[in-house]
Chain A
Amino acid sequence: MSRDVTERNVALVDLVDRLLGGGVVIAGDITLAAADVDLVYVNLRALITSVATAEEKNALPRMGSAL
């Protein structure tokens, strides 16, 4: 995928939502327990928050489309 950095950062918030909160659950062998998911959010939080702040300040293009 050749998303540029801005698009990737905007899309990171959506990516985290989808990979960690979505997808079909099979086998019941999720290695990432709920606590680990929280940890991932904490670790990515600084990056995600900076993206959210930038979005709020209109610092990014109007359409953050990764299309």
Chain B
Amino acid sequence: MIDLYAITDDPAPPLSEPLTAVASHGLAVVCGPAEDGEVTAEVLWRHEEVVEALMEERDLLPVRFGTRVDDETAAARALGDRHVQLAGALDRVRGAVELSVRVIGHAGGDDLRAKAAAAAAVHGPLSQEARASTQLIPREPSELLRAAYLVDRASVDSFVAHVARLQEANPRLRLLCTGPWPAYSFAES
């Protein structure tokens, strides 16, 4: 059994053991031996490090964590089955990376309108700087915004500077920006 990490253009860059690349229809999927066991934070970070190292070299489409196939033949078939959609999705994220922004605060206590306004004051301007954006469902009551932005690689610095300016302008909020991530939140159309 092998685990799938990410899809990129064929040929994939040189990979170090035990990673391999399987190609089909102009795409390549980076695979590694399946790892069993509990999913811990360390396991997730190890997976992420493989994808991020690849991201340094190539534009890529990250594969959902936990995607496993029998062998390389099955990996090639998985590419072939959806190659048109996958190539389209890869094109959409080409030249871009994902940045995460979460906003934490108690704007106006439990006033839903105040919370929405605080979230919009951050999300609105940041969306303008991104190729695409999406909002995830907040998991904590204190979270006003949980969003992902697809940003051109060349625009990452100016995006982060914009986040810093928004933080300055909204001292009662906490803006947490992480990345650049592979475009996980923009991999599916």
Contacts and interface: CB of A to CB of B under 8 A. Distances in A.
A binds B: yes
The size class of the interface chain B forms with chain A is 35 or more
A47 B124 CA distance: 31
B52 A44 contact: no
Nearest to A3: B45
Interface in B53-95: 61-69, 74-75, 77-79, 81-82, 86, 89
B160 interface: yes
Interface residues of A, number: 40
Interface of A is mostly: helix
A15 B188 contact: no
A-B pairs, top 5 by smallest CB distance, nearest first, are A22-B184, A32-B66, A27-B78, A18-B184, A23-B64
Interface of B: 4, 7, 38-41, 44-45, 47-49, 52, 61-69, 74-75, 77-79, 81-82, 86, 89, 98, 100, 102, 104, 136, 139-140, 142, 146, 148, 156, 160, 163-164, 167, 174-182, 184-185, 187-188
